[in-house]
Amino acid sequence: SAVISQKPSRDICQRGTSLTIQCQVDSQVTMMFWYRQQPGQSLTLIATANQGSEATYESGFVIDKFPISRPNLTFSTLTVSNMSPEDSSIYLCSVAIAGKNIQYFGAGTRLSVL
């Protein structure tokens, strides 16, 4: 398995501002992913964070709203830009180890937008 640290664990933000969430894993992993979990709902994949290249976004998610970086094999960031109350959700980072499609999740970032 992998130990995943996500920061911040929670935040309350004003509309129109941006928040950057960090994800750090304790070992080199092939794949890193970002998910959104709206209150009481399931997990929806936002994008796959690719090391050294642009992230791959799922339908309904765009880079201008959710820019992602992955400068190395153990670290990624997700920015939620120009926030509105509809962005209030849990944002989760997950990782998969090379050759295996098992995904491990961080504890998540609980975001409230006022």
Q: Catalog residues that contact other proteins under the rule CB under 8 A.
A: 1, 4, 6, 31, 41-45, 48, 56, 92, 96, 101-108, 110
Token pair recorded at residue 57 = 């976004």
Residue with tokens 């920015």: 79
CB of 60 to other proteins, least distance (A): 12
Q: In terms of CB distance, is 73 or 81 closer to other proteins?
A: 73
CB of 42 to other proteins, least distance (A): 5
**CB 6 within 8 Å of CB 21:** yes
Q: In terms of CB distance, is 57 or 81 closer to other proteins?
A: 57
For residue 26, CA distances in Å to 2, 67, 106 come to: 6, 23, 12
